[in-house]
Structure 1
Amino acid sequence: MNNVKSMNKWANAHTYFWVDLVRMALGVFLFWKGVTFITNIQYLVDLISPFDKASSGMYGMFIVHYIASAHFLGGILIFFGLLTRWAIITQLPILVGAVIINFMGEMHSQNLLLSLVTLIICIAFLIYGSGKNSADYFFKMQE
């Protein structure tokens, strides 16, 4: 807990508006991917099809719904800077899986690049936090 507080103090002392814009753009992107996956479930099922055992039956449907809802809700939370680290922790297994899928199935360089960049940005915000222009900072100042 002390480590998280020290990281938050450092991030709040070194905050820049463009970093908050990147966080907001990440939230919009993840929200958009969540909406895309919710509206086109078959596309998501086809994406996770290299994991044949995981994509069949009830376990596969759990994965499909976890990915879609985590992107949808996580994108909203990340955009507003509310529970940013927790939202990013739920994104990490999905993004690591997205990178692995490109090596197990058919290689799509654009999807691989997009998932790698998103993974790197998520890891950066996992360390950095939500910044000063966020709901977390606002609620912290209300205490």
Structure 2
Amino acid sequence: MGKIKTLNKWANTHSYYPLDVLRIALGAFLFMKGVHFVSNSELLVELIKPMDNYAGSMIMAHYVAASHLVGGLLITFGLLTRWAIIVQIPVLIGAILINFMGEFNATNFLLASITLLVCVFFMFYGSGKHSADYYFKMQQ
């Protein structure tokens, strides 16, 4: 817990607008991917087809859409950012692995890899100074 507090202090003193814009863009991107998966559920089922042999493939499809929708909104507003990103990481690792199990799509692989790297960054950095987390913390 002490390590997280020191990371939060560092993040709050080194808060920059471009990082806040990057966090908001990441959240908006994940939310739009969630909307895309909900509106095109056939596409999501087709993407998960290489994992059909494993149990729970339909649960996985619902988890992906819901985590992108809710997590994207939370990340955009900077509310419970680390928790929302922890929920996103298995989905993004799965998106990277699906490329190796099925047809390799370089665009999807690159997009999932960059998104995973940005999520890992914000998992350590936090939501920053211009977020709902910081606002609520200052209200105490």
Aligned to 2:48: 48
Other-structure match for 1:126: 123
Q: Which runs of 5+ in 2 are unaligned?
A: none
SS in 2 for 1:46: helix
Instruction: Please list, as runs of the form range in 1=range in 2, the aligned pairs for 1:25-44 lying within 5 A after superposition.
Output: 25-44=25-44
Partner of residue 103, structure 2: 106
Structure 1 unmatched runs, 5+: none
- Return the TM-score normalized by structure 2: 0.98
> What is the match of residue 63 of structure 2?
66
Could you list the per-position Cα deviations for residues 8-57 of structure 1 after superposition, in whole angstroms to 9, with x for gaps in the alignment? 00100111000000000000000000000111111001001111223x6x
TM-score, normalization by structure 1:
0.96
What is the aligned residue count? 140
Q: Per-residue displacement from partner, 1:69-123 (whole Å, max 9, x unpaired)?
A: 0000000000000000000000000000100111111011000000000000000
* 1:3 equivalent in structure 2: 3
Identity %: 56
Partner Cα separation in structure 1 for residue 61 and residue 108 of structure 2: 18
Residue aligning to 1:79: 76
2:93 equivalent in structure 1 = 96
Paired letter, 2:73: I
